[in-house]
Amino acid sequence: MKWLVVLSALVAFAECFQKFPLIKGKTARQDLQEKGLWDEYRKQNPYNPMAKFYQGGSESMTNDADIAYYGVISIGTPPQSFRVIFDTGSSNLWVPSVSCSSEACNNHRKFNPQQSSTFQWGDGTLSIQYGTGSMTGHLAIDNVEVGGITVSKQVFGISLTEAPFMASLIADGILGLAFQSIASDNVVPVFDNMVNQGLVSQPLFSVYLSSNSEGSEVVFGGIDSSHYTGQITWVPLTSATYWQIKMDSVTINGEVVACSGGCQAIIDTGTSLIIGPTKDINNMNAWVGASTDLSEYGDATVYCQNIQSMPEVTFTLNGHAFTIPASAYVAQSNQGCYSGFGQGGSDPLWILGDVFIREFYVIFDSQSQNIGLAKSV
């Protein structure tokens, strides 16, 4: 289900917080469209006023054309830097290796084990299946630095093969932030090791996704109150696998248009759209005025001039209403305007991806197994 219909791709990108220049020219979306891969892709330390109150670290993220959010981490001694996607919909960390000759690897930074004095080989191989392809590789062990926090002896993957669509992404790899229960090879995730090694004072992390190219942030061990307004609403997890919660309904103008009778949803920074069962998504798109005839790239199209008059959509999570306006769920590009609601086939599990998360500051509390949501600013 990961990267599910919309993939979410890779994050962070020689010093820990050094900014890498943005790639000039076409966006990842435009490149994928020209290569005929977009349809498959779709289907499948900034200012921190709270820092003095907790032990932890923050990592800035770059918004890659509303497709994925990536930031910079480093691995090894001396550190080798990589851009990775902070993905709450998966649990493993992996980056390309010098032994990988796939196009996707050749297009990205590669980890060289021989250049790290703290490197060790792990026990076995790694294979992860995403919605639009897979990666295979070896398990490895080394120090990983994220947001100024160094995790000792982290088990991670170094890829030997990667699916072709990854070549079009800016990010080099993925850093999974879901639970160990869904980690390939039962690897302990990076954030779990932060907690286990006493590197953060609170067993939670929080995410702010900006609509701009810069300004997004993940904070490990704390909450940045400058990114939200009002009260935090806490929603209990129904499963400690993905960050999964109960959704009561989806309503428009007071009418239930999807998730009638309740359903399950996951909060996933690694998926760009809001994904649901095809029947429900088609009904939602019809209600908001998006065309039922999909574009050549698999998107439901919208007349750009209608955005101001399109209705709000409310997602009720465990009795609490979270409403997003049309300006949030309609994507605008040079090719036109598109609905941010994507078809997930017959799978009943919903994914509240970046379209939803950009509207709400999200706190992921692994100890209490709750998700906190507050209106983003």
Instruction: Give me the active site residues, please.
Output: 87, 268
Q: Of 56, 149, 125, 135, which Cα lies nearest the Cα of 95?
A: 135
What is the edge-to-edge ordering of all strands in the sheet holding 336-339? 301-302, 336-339, 330-333
Q: What is the DSSP letter of 325?
A: -
CA dihedral (217, 223, 229, 235) positive or negative = positive
Percentages (nearest 5) of helix, strand, coil residues in the chain: 20, 40, 40
Helices (H), the chain: 28-34, 38-43, 103-106, 190-196, 278-288, 326-329, 354-357
Residues in the chain: 377
Q: What is the DSSP letter of 182?
A: G
Helices (H), 35-77: 38-43
Structure tokens at 188: 């302990």
Backbone angles phi, psi at 363, to 5 degrees: -115, 125
In single-letter form, the type of residue at position 3 comes to W
Q: Of 33, 371, 30, which Cα lies nearest the Cα of 204?
A: 371
Asked if 173 and 84 count as a contact pair (C-beta separation under 8 A), the reply is yes
Q: Of 322, 305, 313, which Cα lies nearest the Cα of 357?
A: 322
